[in-house]
Amino acid sequence: MSRPAPLWRLIDEGPLDGPANMALDEALLGCFDPKSSLPVLRLYGWEPPALSVGRYQDAAAALDLALCAADGVPVVRRMTGGGIIFHADELTYSLVCAPEQVGDAAGVKEGFRRLCAFLLGTYQKLGLDAAFATDVNPAGAVLGQRTAFCFAGKEDFDVLVRGRKIGGNAQRRLRGAILQHGSIPLKNRVRDGQRYLADPVAGQTDAVSLAELGLMPETGALKVLLIEAFQERLGVVLQPSALTDAERALMAELEQTKYRNSDWNLGKP
């Protein structure tokens, strides 16, 4: 008799603003017990649009903060590394799990391959030929170079369609758990984000979105495809779940003390 597929929690609180989104991601990680908690997949959006900076970036050096303030564009620092991202017109995901819950015995890179496989499945369900950058990397091309703007560079397990980067993913491992988040761009808003860079030239990119590929799926329908691909690729069952009282309490605390605090968002890393 085959074993039942492992359960994962599916959390969808709808779109939130930047500080609330990052506080909730960290709260899910902070309340996760690698030995006893069910792993989590969270789906969300950003309202209003916001800029996020990587954990190790100097926001004041990388961004024109005066222009951000003048345009009312929030800036929030992520727990994960990587470059600046302008979040608008995208379906964002985060997941929290223990390495053992995804059979991750081969290290960080293999963990990325396994945890990003559902993105390939989602794009393939949309009729797109998607692949990891490391699997289609042209001879001589350089992966993994650090860039101030997320979409200006390519990492090994970024997803490419027609040779162009679609979305991005970042990961943090802490206390025996993995936090990973990334996005599926519905429309290409990269140019909107570039104007807030201190050096806009550094943000030149060939990123692509679903709309540019001739696809305009409704967000709810896209979520259905993503959920199907996630269950198929990871061999799990997603179970809709509300936040626990502990997760809500920690989210509220982090939101007020950290993610709405300019010392964290804009200070020196």
Please answer whether residues 37 and 244 qualify as being in contact, where contact means their C-beta atoms are separated by less than 8 angstroms. no
> Among residues 28, 24, 25, which one has the least CA distance to residue 39?
28
Q: Give me the active site residues, please.
A: 150
Q: Which residues contact 84 (CB under 8 A, 6 or more apart)?
A: 51, 52, 53, 54, 57, 62, 63, 148, 149, 150, 193, 196, 197, 203
Token duo for residue 169: 């993913």
Q: How far is CA 4 from CA 99, 229, 235, 236, 237, in A?
A: 19, 18, 10, 9, 9
- Rounded to 5 degrees, φ, ψ at 131 are -150, 160
Token duo for residue 117: 């496989």
